Structure 1
Amino acid sequence: MSRKKIVTMLGLMLVSVGLLAQNKVKLSLVDEQTGEPLGFATVSVMKNGQSKPSNYALTDENGKATIESVKKGSYSLRAELMGYVTYTTTVKMESEDLDLGEIKMKLDAEAIDAASVSATGNPVIIKKDTVEYTASAFKTTDNDVLEDLLKKLPGVEVAEDGSITANGQTISKITIDGKTFFLDDPQMASKNIPAKMVDKLKVIQKKSEQAEFTGIDDGQEETVIDLTVQQGMMRGLIGQVSGGAGADIPSQDGVKSDVRYTGNAFIGSFKDDTQISLILNGNNTNNRGGTNRSGNMMMGMMGGGGGMGRGQGGWGGGNGITTSYLAGLNAASTFFDDKMDLGGNYIDNYNRNDVEESSQKTTYLQDMNVITNSDGIGNTISGGHSFGFRLDHDFSKNTSILFQPQINIGTGSYIQSSTDATLNDDLNGNVTKVNDSYTDNTGNNKNLSASGFLLFRQRLGIPGRTLTLAANVSASNNNLNGLNTNGITSYVGGTSSLTEVRQSFENKEDSYSASGTLTYTEPLGN
């Protein structure tokens, strides 16, 4: 290849890199008068000639924000926060990051309302204790689910286990138009609801039911996500079915690859005051389709007498291949002129985890090497049924009751086998076996738990005078039985000896708890 061609190719490569370069815009927002940092403000850049922001970010509690992945070009930058005059400026991105330093925001005497802010095309709006996102401002595909949308929202994070946090606060539940969706399992929504059906998404700091009724903060808050359904999807059934299949890449020639598959179906009706949803999910790609409801049960199974524990390498911990099947039905509706909210759900799930491990460890000593070969397989199966119910009824404008029971039924089993061989290498070509060992553990588990929450609320004549009674009860029964077998064969002086231990165990655990709180509030002063 000629020198001229090489120079030309290098030039083209450098031009391509320059075109693809994406940089950051950094800034911090402060109050013009006090100098205090302004957190949770929306900062966006809009390319000249466009009607929607191309990139955006939220300021943190220190007022700082970084807008990622901004391509070269000229942009209109906006900083917006409720109660402040919108700040706008023109920025030009070159080949380096841009630091705008400290930007001072002026208070708006008339306090900009939410409608005027949203009219600018702002994808994020801050309203006191609520952060509202416009779903259409974040690019998703037709097959994406809510979890894919959440991962694109500034301030929202989805962990590897599927748990969701917003601005550092754990999301405890997801509601649809104010109605609870699968009660206390936000992952049933995040992993199954189609992203395309969401119009608005609100992250809300919600006080406890008792605090909302009495108006007195009891310090018990939760962070919830409320979804608003697209208007065009509220007139009939919403459906989405997706699936795929493929094969693992073989680890070596001649080894047959396993087939991987995934399938998901969502059918929902969101008409008037009634919501009904059906979820079906099946795969062998380590996606449970909802919260791991068998986690605590399986921890109990891996306990007494050794369980799944493996002295050298360790087992479990999410390794291997998990096959999951899940079916869920959720319903919620309003009756008696909005005086009664009634909802419930049922979940049936099955999970199977298969683990294969193989390792070789060499310990180098001064006069010899110690070699340890280990192999093992593990199989864990769990399944169960979950029933949840919620009743919130206003008998009158002064008297209401909230009742929320839940029942969980679970079963499971495990099998774990491992072998280890230890050899000594004297560094002269002589390798001798020191010992062989094996472990075989099996177990079965049954679990039943039930809980209930009751809240009675009564207003007494004058505003602020209230009486509330809250009660919590729970009971659980857990039965575990299994057999652990361990053996070791030692080789000394040309002879071998076997030592074997067999241990059967049975654990039964029952627990009960009950608590109640009676609260009276009286307004002070006139």
Structure 2
Amino acid sequence: MLCIPYYCKNVIISYNLYSHNHQLALKKILLLLCLCLFVAVAHAQTGGRFTLKGVVGDTTGTGLPEATVMLLTPKDSTLVNFMRTNKAGSFEFKGVKRGNYLLKITYVGYLPYQQNVVPNDGDVTDMGNIKMTFMDQNLYEVVIKTFRAPLSIRGDTIEYDPKAFKVPPGASVEDLIRRLPGLQVDQDGSIKAQGETVKRVTVDGKRFFGDDTKAATKNLPAEAISKVQVFNEKTEQSRLTGVDDGKHEKTLNLQLKDSHKKGGFGKVAAGVGSEKRLEGKINYNRFNEKNQFSVIGLGNNTNQGGMSWDDYQDFKGSQSFNWGDDGDFGFNGGRYIYFGGGDDESITIQAGSGAQNRGFNKNWAGGANYNFDTKKTKFNTSYYYNKNTQDLDATSRQTNFLTNSAFTKLDTNGRLNSNQNHRGSLRFEKTLDSNNTLVLISNFRFGNGTADYRSHQEYFRGVQDSTQLSNMSDITNFSDFNSFAIANTAIYRHKFKKKGRNFALSGGYNVNNSEGDVRQRSTNQFFRTSQTVADSVLNINQTNHTKSLRNQIKSSALFTEPLSKKFVLETFYNFSLKNDEVDRDVFDNKESGQVRNLNLSRYYTNNTTFHRAGTSLRYSYNGLNLLGGIGWQQIHLDGKFAVNQDDPTRTRIDRRFSNWVPNVSLNYDLKNNRYLYGGYNFSVQEPNIRDLQPIVDNSNPLYITMGNPNLAPTRNHSFNIGYNHFNATKFTQMFFGAYYNLYKDQVIYSQTVDENLVTTTMPTNISGGRSFNLYGQYGFPLVKTKSNLSVNANYYNNKNLTFINGELNDTKGNGYNGGLRLDLTPSDKFTFYANANWNISDTRYSLMSAQNQKIVNSTYGAEMNVKLPKEIYFNSRFNYNRYVNDRFGFNQDMPILNVSLYKTMLKSKKGEIRLSAFDLFNKNRGISQSAYQNFVSQEQVRTLARYFMLSFAYNMRGMSHSVRRKGYY
């Protein structure tokens, strides 16, 4: 354990020697640290240890297999180790540190057993035969209330008692989860349980701000939780239809303490820092058995989003169905048609990117969540508001490869984006009687914003370091926009008297509208014979007003008929009618006034009618769930476009696409937390509205985009297979899998580059693209409840096709990813988390093989928490990122070190004062690099760097003490 201070010492040394191969030193230090910890843990298991064993049985002496055996500290019942008995009922703890312990044993249907353990002088302490007493039903209620096991395992459900996994005062649920064996929290806050991503986090079984898995874990205090339960939940479609599809969603439920159901609790924090940095945050909760009410809010200029949502994607509508129960029955739990997402009119894309680590961001946000839940009625509603202002300056280099040449663009740009949006949701579920259920869902969003974009671009002929200037552009664009969307769904389900016979019907109405103005001004100089005097100049001064309206009605029906105990026939039908209307008016601003640009203005309407009907046969027995089915679907595009609404000349688009869509799926529960899954799916995805519009967009006059109303839907053959195993006794987890996609009529963007290096792109269809991915992960405890190590690897291979000046370019990509993660939680006084990830991307081009290249991105991170005397706590977080592309001489390193020191104070430790330092090395900046199709790019963004912050937080709590009963909790 002496290597911990050595690591801290060398972090400081590395700062002084930063200019002398610091990156190699940092990597070696981190890897050496992990090795030291591994050796230290292994060594700790050998000296001064003993073995504890015994046999668990009933009163007749018959062994009880799979009983949960726990070893605890007598003082505070902190969990030291645990296991499950074998088939004969025996258990054996090896390498136990010599000392006194408390042994607890639980088994379903039997009275819990506990006994003090005092090791004898020998190497083995044998507890002999331990007899457990069958639990009488009259004793069940008393035992449940007086006996609390730190950890219990029942089938695929694991329940934790937070009291056995101590965290510092004021810690969040996220901090608690990091200490629980079998659970893992990634850097972005997403949670993995038993190797699977947690899809839903509930509070007392109720939804908390929709199904955002981070809203509860980041905002609720750990001290409010009495139980953490992890289990497999049925999918939304399976719950609605009553048919088990063999799939499951990993769910985490937070059970509140009784004390926090009587009165409100929450936290308020405020801070002031250097460089005029300010931040504030508040959350307040009031829960009881039937009602839950929560309020959260924040404001800061420290690039902290705080609510865990990607606000920009939310603004575009990706959260339109934030519960996944949009009523689309059939294969894959829904149709191919999606509402919202990337189909919005392009003027909304210029809103802030929402990437909080880019540029300088000011954030204001707030929301409220309310739940009402009884046996027959469930009601949830939430509201969320966000305002973001982003100031961003960036420099980038992009090299494009042509058939026998290349050109490089250097871009220096600045952006000032401001947007605000409101989002609300409502879900009402009513059990009318034992056979009928009604669900009503409504989600809405509306927002507005502005985007100010300034750019200076220089184009050079060649790959890099070229002096042959070709073009130069100065661009100033400003946009002002607003949008509105609402999605409404009603679902009715009826269960017939015959078991397994069900009927479900859904209907929906959706609206997605946007409107905005864009002012485009640019000066474009073209150099052919001279590098100092332009041969020609193109000036653009235009105003663009665009109004985009979308309406959609849809319906879906599902009928299930059991043919026998093992076979179920499922028949479904989907219908959708979507209407799009886009009115784009472009005017050239001249001295004489505005003149309509007939080449860029368009009025466009389109009706998309979708029908799909199908049937499938499902076999379900003893954990095996196998489905095979086929459907028929038709997409009808009926569109018209003209220069403007008053133009009597309309160009008609009338196209129909009919396809048979087969589907096969396999889900096999092999018991003991082992799952095998796989399948084949054929899907058809219609082009998005932006690509279908016959519109020319010259926002960047050197990169012009055109729509294509003749696009066909993309067809995709998809195969997947995977295996997941979690050993609840040893807490080892393993999963691996693969998937393959083959595309036909894939929508790609062909490019035409003229002699002035003006690029024009247009979407078109092409067949032959593919992608393949192979992945796996293995995790295991070095010492149960104290440390865990996981290793992951991933390989992908893809083929991307595009046309460049009429010639086909085949871009092949091979990627190799690997990573390590170490979680060390020996006590509540010290925790350490370390990770390392490597990503190698090998890209090869058919037209310009000389430009084949490898991109290497690597990240290393470590976080340490130490409890010092007098309730003082120290936290440090270090991240080191490295970006390398030798082909283009790109080599960037970014070490980031954040540290904080805080102390708890006031009565019951309700107060906390904290001093924090962010980015001590002052090296933070946004760096990215990528290679795709026929180009490679690198970008650097000036962003918030070193600053210091002094903050104070106050924890509002419910009743100060819960009612204590005799026995253990």
Query: Is 1:332 aligned to residue 336 of structure 2?
Result: no
Which residue of structure 1 lines up, in the alignment, with residue 211 of structure 2? 184
Please give the alpha-carbon distance, in whole angstroms, between the structure 1 residues aligned to 2:165 and 2:542.
57
Which residue of structure 1 lines up, in the alignment, with residue 201 of structure 2? 174
Which residue of structure 1 lines up, in the alignment, with residue 444 of structure 2? 407
Deviation at residue 318 of structure 1 after TM alignment: 5.0
Between 438-447 and 236-245, report the one with greater CA deviation.
438-447
| Structure 1 residues 449 and 153: CA distance shift in structure 2, 3 A | farther
1:213-269: CA deviations, max 9, x gaps? Answer: 66521355433321111222111111311222222xxxxxxxxxx332322211111
Amino acid at match of 2:296: I
1:160-171 matched pairs, under 5 angstroms: 160-171=187-198
1:48-87 matched pairs, under 5 angstroms: 51-53=77-79, 77-80=81-84, 85=89, 87=91
Kept in 2, the 8 Å contact 1:84–1:111? The answer is no
1:129-144 matched pairs, under 5 angstroms: 129-144=156-171
3-state DSSP class of the match of 2:310?
coil
Amino acid at match of 2:418: I
Query: Is 1:268 aligned to residue 285 of structure 2?
Result: yes
Q: 1:287 aligns with which of 289, 295, 304?
A: 304
1:156-194: CA deviations, max 9, x gaps? Answer: 444444444434444333221112111232332233222
Between 471-480 and 188-197, report the one with greater CA deviation.
471-480
Amino acid at match of 2:522: N
Deviation at residue 206 of structure 1 after TM alignment: 1.4
Q: TM-score, normalised by structure 1?
A: 0.67
Superposed CA RMSD: 4.7
| Structure 1 residues 467 and 274: CA distance shift in structure 2, 3 A | same
Which residue of structure 1 lines up, in the alignment, with residue 92 of structure 2? 88
Amino acid at match of 2:559: T
Please give the alpha-carbon distance, in whole angstroms, between the structure 1 residues aligned to 2:41 and 2:157.
30
Q: 1:382 aligns with which of 407, 413, 419?
A: 419
Structure 1 portions without partners, runs of 5+: 1-16, 27-39, 55-76, 94-107, 248-257, 362-370, 425-430
| Structure 1 residues 87 and 448: CA distance shift in structure 2, 3 A | farther
Query: Is 1:487 aligned to residue 487 of structure 2?
Result: no
Which residue of structure 1 lines up, in the alignment, with residue 480 of structure 2? 444
Amino acid at match of 1:386: R
Which residue of structure 2 lines up, in the alignment, with residue 193 of structure 1? 220
1:292-350: CA deviations, max 9, x gaps? Answer: 243264696998489759xxxx9979512332222111111245xx3222221111111
Deviation at residue 275 of structure 1 after TM alignment: 1.2
Q: 2:559 aligns with which of 512, 515, 519?
A: 519
Identity level (%): 23
Which residue of structure 2 lines up, in the alignment, with residue 500 of structure 1? 539
Kept in 1, the 8 Å contact 2:468–2:531? The answer is no
Report the number of matched residues: 432
Query: Is 1:419 aligned to residue 459 of structure 2?
Result: no
Between 41-50 and 410-419, report the one with greater CA deviation.
41-50
Kept in 1, the 8 Å contact 2:369–2:383? The answer is yes
Please give the alpha-carbon distance, in whole angstroms, between the structure 2 residues aligned to 1:433 and 1:382.
37
Please give the alpha-carbon distance, in whole angstroms, between the structure 1 residues aligned to 2:542 and 2:113.
72
Please give the alpha-carbon distance, in whole angstroms, between the structure 1 residues aligned to 2:377 and 2:185.
34
| Structure 1 residues 154 and 471: CA distance shift in structure 2, 3 A | farther
3-state DSSP class of the match of 1:23?
helix
Structure 2 portions without partners, runs of 5+: 1-34, 46-65, 98-104, 115-143, 317-340, 399-407, 462-466, 567-969
Please give the alpha-carbon distance, in whole angstroms, between the structure 2 residues aligned to 1:89 and 1:296.
50
Q: 1:460 aligns with which of 481, 496, 509?
A: 496
Which residue of structure 1 lines up, in the alignment, with residue 360 of structure 2? 321
Kept in 1, the 8 Å contact 2:112–2:147? The answer is no
Please give the alpha-carbon distance, in whole angstroms, between the structure 2 residues aligned to 1:439 and 1:315.
23
Please give the alpha-carbon distance, in whole angstroms, between the structure 2 residues aligned to 1:397 and 1:225.
28
| Structure 1 residues 374 and 473: CA distance shift in structure 2, 3 A | closer
Between 293-302 and 378-387, report the one with greater CA deviation.
293-302
1:396-423: CA deviations, max 9, x gaps? Answer: 2332222222112222322222335799
1:94-153: CA deviations, max 9, x gaps? Answer: xxxxxxxxxxxxxx9x77879669999875543333333333333433333333333444
Kept in 1, the 8 Å contact 2:167–2:175? The answer is yes
| Structure 1 residues 305 and 522: CA distance shift in structure 2, 3 A | closer
| Structure 1 residues 323 and 435: CA distance shift in structure 2, 3 A | same
Kept in 1, the 8 Å contact 2:269–2:281? The answer is yes
Kept in 2, the 8 Å contact 1:355–1:377? The answer is yes
| Structure 1 residues 51 and 196: CA distance shift in structure 2, 3 A | closer
Deviation at residue 516 of structure 1 after TM alignment: 0.9
Kept in 2, the 8 Å contact 1:294–1:410? The answer is no
Please give the alpha-carbon distance, in whole angstroms, between the structure 1 residues aligned to 2:343 and 2:492.
38
Kept in 2, the 8 Å contact 1:450–1:474? The answer is yes
Q: 2:276 aligns with which of 241, 250, 259?
A: 259
Q: TM-score, normalised by structure 2?
A: 0.39
3-state DSSP class of the match of 1:199?
strand
Which residue of structure 1 lines up, in the alignment, with residue 3 of structure 2? none
Amino acid at match of 2:277: R
3-state DSSP class of the match of 2:429?
strand
Please give the alpha-carbon distance, in whole angstroms, between the structure 2 residues aligned to 1:315 and 1:234.
35
| Structure 1 residues 259 and 190: CA distance shift in structure 2, 3 A | farther
Please give the alpha-carbon distance, in whole angstroms, between the structure 2 residues aligned to 1:315 and 1:485.
26
Deviation at residue 200 of structure 1 after TM alignment: 1.4
3-state DSSP class of the match of 1:294?
helix
